[in-house]
Structure 1
Amino acid sequence: MRRHLALGGLMAALLLAGAVAMAASDLTPQRIAQKGRAFAPGAVALKAGESVEIVNDDGELIHHAYLDHPDFAFDTGEQAPGSRTVVAFPKKGSFTVLCGIHPKMKLAVTVK
């Protein structure tokens, strides 16, 4: 009987660990690279409350991601090479993230 209880406890612990890992992966921001004067990928889909991590992967270029929308706005300021900024999108909608230094850079974000 003790062996069944021990196995049952082990199974419960493994299931809980898997659920925690799955929940943590749901919270992991989607990585958006800034390289070659472009966002990559150029479009993402999120659920309300999810985040993106905007990373300057350019060796020498400074970037400056921002969003100015009536429902939601942010500004990363100047991002030196290697810097990272995590931005949560709290509301549903369609948004365009721009670069204040490189005007052709655009990231389309759809939040459902």
Structure 2
Amino acid sequence: MSKAMALMFLLATLLCHLYTGDAQKSCDKSDITIKVFKVSTVIEKQQVYAAIFWTSCSCEMKDVHFSCDGLQNSILHPDRSMVDVDRSGICTLARTISMKSPLQITYSSEAPVNFRVLSATPAC
């Protein structure tokens, strides 16, 4: 009888480990990646850049706030339907982002803007 109980305990432990091993960790701002690259265009001495925002989290991320100091001086302003640019150098994505649906913004600047995610909320 004790061998059967020990075997059931081991089986239950194994099943529990397998089940929780695939569980999604809590999503946060560290799951968001921003990649900036040059576009082969120059406007009034400012290089055009594209920035792509995406998340490695299985949940969509919303209310993404990020530092964007310098973006307010862009001659080519990002599309307002995608990002809200505050005069204080803080921006907010106007859409959610996900693993399958990244968001790209285009802007111009003398140097690439150093974007840094400040906060984000998982939408799941």
Shared fold (TM-score, shorter chain, > 0.5): no
TM-score where L is the length of structure 2: 0.38
TM-score where L is the length of structure 1: 0.41
For the pair shown, the structure with the greater C-alpha radius of gyration is: 2
Larger relative contact order (CA 8 Å, sep ≥ 6)? 2
